[in-house]
A and B are shown apart, each in its own frame.
Chain A
Amino acid sequence: MLSKAKGTRRAYWFILPAALCMLFVHFIPIIWGAYISLLDLDVYTLTQWTSAPFVKLGNYIKLFSGKFAVGQRFLRSVYNVFVYGLVTIPVGYIIGLLVALLLNRNFVGRTFVRGIILLPYITPDSVAYNVWRFIFQARIGLVNKYLLKFGLIQEPLVWLVGKRALTAVIIASIWKGWPFACLILLAGLQGIPAELYEAAKIDGASVWQQFKMITLPMLAPVTKTLLLLNVIWNFHAYNQFYILLGGSVGEAHVPSTFIMQEAFTNLHYGMGSAMSVVLMILIVILIAILLRSKRRASYES
């Protein structure tokens, strides 16, 4: 009907616009960013960027030698993003799972409740985190109002500046993030055949045993996908820090916010690019480990 070569050529034409866009926005900048990271590029050399001093691995040495404040602060931001992820991902998962189990039962108004819990997930970041910023205000906020009322604190706490900033971001992020886990887990729960539970009941398994022996193992595939997505997104974290903390992130920097500050406030583009490269390598390593353990697990089963 159609010659194969002609069909192939047509396929390339169909893909071309998408490929050009991704080349221009994703791939060229990423490769070029790796080159920029070898330059001492700042606002003075930007106009004549070809003549920016080529410092080879100078920026990377600065990051890891431990002698420069910028390196220490970058490592601190990497540490922060790990803390952030190690709290938000498991807590979000557990809440999502509990609510998914709840919503998997029959009750009046189930569809309505299911729609409502998606609200945090679909609310724009800049709306959700601005509202939480309002809630966390020291003198006029809800959090301090109730903490005082229940006698948990005597003085209003400052949430968004200093040592509690990371905690505040974590709380707001969990609130925004768990509905996604819940949505996916609910779909996973509905994919479990009812016969499995019936068979288990006949065998006299308790509810807890059913949960442990049927529900959890059957949810393993979606759990792994969720984990993979969450680990990737964890390193994308920017909006929650930038918006909730009103641009003055201070101690609570994560790589994204710190690179932004270094590149666009301090105007050290070369150093910013070097940190981006380190961040990307870190992500690739983590994802490789995760995918590997995922593959091994699927071989075993």
Chain B
Amino acid sequence: MKAEMQQSSRFTLNEISRKKLFTKEVVLRILLYLGVFLVLVIVLAPYLWMVSGSFKTSLEIQAADVTRPDLEPRWIPRTFTLENYAKINKTVPMLDYFRNSIIISLGTMFFSIIISITAAYALSRYNFKGKTAVTLGVASTQLFPGIAFLIPYFILFTLINRYFGIQLRNTYPGMILTYTTFAIPFSILMLRNFLDTVPREIDEQAQIDGCSPLGALFRVIIPLSAPGIVAVGIYSFIMAWNEVLFASILTGRATKTVAVGILEYITQQQSRWSQMMAACIIISIPVLLLFTFMQRYIVEGIVSGATKG
């Protein structure tokens, strides 16, 4: 009898604690989803504001006033318009800048891939004197901010133009050279890590089969490391697309990229916010597309670079 009672009380106790655990679980779940929701709101709010701004009339934005409830800026446009997208090229030659950015970014992507795959191949496959020094030299370029070499680099461009008659400022080759060099240190290190995972026997076998070392690189290694190469190419493209500091000094009317061109919507006289927001959306599209396309490889590369380093 006593034993039975004990058992039943233990049973109810168990049930109570299970119920408690269950409610605790539910509360935790709710908190989890609330937290996720909060994160999403904080991340997405500026994007929603950008999209909403791009569909507003410039009049609506100019007339907005936070102190007057009837005129306060709203999330939903009062009058919905596509004018900002249609007029994107009217006040600022955005399409020209877009073309400049495409040319410079594609050029950077191409040269960065070629230059970094050969260097990465040497670092991964050969033992030579000064290998550590080269690796350290490559890594050290990431340490200093662009401003540390922008001034002498600018003067170098000026002097080259004077003494050799080669114009590098405000030209596509000059910008491509600059951005290619910005992209290669990270690209070399990333590709070297990638090539280290491709077994050495494969290229040795190719050379035994009669390939020259360069042939082995192009016929065997490059196809095998395609994901790494694509990731490096996209990284280089995005870097050139987004760069601001050097572009603001070294590009002029003929080569200005979208990253600095977009600032022209706001002048001392007029702020064209709605057009600028439309332009913001348009210039983000290539970057977002490329990133989504290659997200896995890029994220892997960044994460392994950071966690190994």
Is residue B86 within 8 Å, beta carbon to beta carbon, of the partner chain?
no
The binding surface of chain A is classed by DSSP as helix
Tell me if B306 and A25 are in contact (CB < 8 A): no
Closest beta carbon of chain B to A68's beta carbon, Å: 19
Tell me if A30 and B39 are in contact (CB < 8 A): no
Stretch in A195-203, A210-218, A230-238 touching the partner: A230-238
Give A116 to B291 CA distance when docked, in angstroms: 12
The binding surface of chain B is classed by DSSP as helix
Max count, chain A CB within 10 A of own CB: residue among B32, B119, B127: B119
Given A15-B119, A18-B116, A145:B184 Cβ within 8 A: no
Tell me if B244 and A239 are in contact (CB < 8 A): yes
Nearest A residue to B119 via CB reads A18
Within 8 A of B (CB), among A117-144: 117-120, 122-128, 130-135, 137-142, 144
Residues in A with CB closer than 8 Å to B280 are 127, 130-131
Is residue B132 within 8 Å, beta carbon to beta carbon, of the partner chain?
no
Give A279 to B145 CA distance when docked, in angstroms: 9
Tell me if A21 and B181 are in contact (CB < 8 A): yes
Tell me if A24 and B181 are in contact (CB < 8 A): yes
How many contacting A-B pairs (Cβ < 8 A)? 277
Within 8 A of B (CB), among A68-108: 99, 102, 105, 107
Is residue A175 within 8 Å, beta carbon to beta carbon, of the partner chain?
yes
Is residue A66 within 8 Å, beta carbon to beta carbon, of the partner chain?
no
Tell me if B73 and A30 are in contact (CB < 8 A): no
Residues in A with CB closer than 8 Å to B141 are 22, 26
Residues in B with CB closer than 8 Å to A156 are 66-67
Given A26-B181, A122-B291, A17:B309 Cβ within 8 A: no
Give A296 to B162 CA distance when docked, in angstroms: 52
Give A287 to B144 CA distance when docked, in angstroms: 11
Nearest A residue to B259 via CB reads A126
Residues in B with CB closer than 8 Å to A21 are 115, 177, 180-181, 184
Closest beta carbon of chain A to B218's beta carbon, Å: 12
Closest beta carbon of chain B to A94's beta carbon, Å: 13
Tell me if A139 and B137 are in contact (CB < 8 A): no
Given A127-B283, A183-B302, A140:B158 Cβ within 8 A: no
Closest beta carbon of chain B to A274's beta carbon, Å: 10
Residues in A with CB closer than 8 Å to B258 are 126
Tell me if B181 and A29 are in contact (CB < 8 A): no
Tell me if A236 and B146 are in contact (CB < 8 A): yes
Given A1-B207, A11-B128, A17-B119, A124:B259 Cβ within 8 A: yes
Closest beta carbon of chain A to B198's beta carbon, Å: 16
Closest beta carbon of chain A to B140's beta carbon, Å: 8
Closest beta carbon of chain B to A198's beta carbon, Å: 18
Tell me if B152 and A33 are in contact (CB < 8 A): yes
- Interface of B toward A, CB cutoff 8 Å: 29, 32-33, 35-36, 39-40, 42-47, 49-50, 53, 61-62, 64-67, 72-73, 114-116, 118-119, 121-123, 125-129, 134, 137-138, 141-156, 158-159, 162, 177-178, 180-182, 184-185, 188, 204, 207-208, 213, 238, 241-242, 244-245, 248-249, 258-260, 262-263, 266, 273, 276-277, 280, 283-284, 287-288, 291-292, 295, 299, 302-303, 306-307, 309
Extra contacts, 5 of them, besides A22-B141, A141-B66, A279-B145 (Cβ < 8 A), are A25-B149, A30-B152, A115-B295, A134-B50, A236-B146
- Interface of A toward B, CB cutoff 8 Å: 1-2, 7-8, 10-12, 14-15, 17-19, 21-22, 24-30, 32-33, 36, 41, 46-47, 49, 99, 102, 105, 107, 113, 115-120, 122-128, 130-135, 137-142, 144-145, 148, 155-156, 175, 179, 183-184, 187-188, 191, 221-222, 225-226, 229, 232, 235-236, 238-239, 242-243, 246-247, 255-256, 259-260, 263-264, 269, 272-273, 276-277, 279-280, 283-284, 287
Could you write out 10 A-B pairs with CB less than 8 Å apart?
A14-B121, A18-B184, A29-B150, A30-B144, A33-B152, A99-B39, A122-B291, A126-B263, A137-B273, A269-B151
Complex A-B, nearest 10 residue pairs according to Cβ-Cβ distance, in ascending order: A11-B126, A14-B122, A29-B149, A25-B181, A18-B119, A29-B152, A33-B152, A11-B122, A140-B64, A236-B145
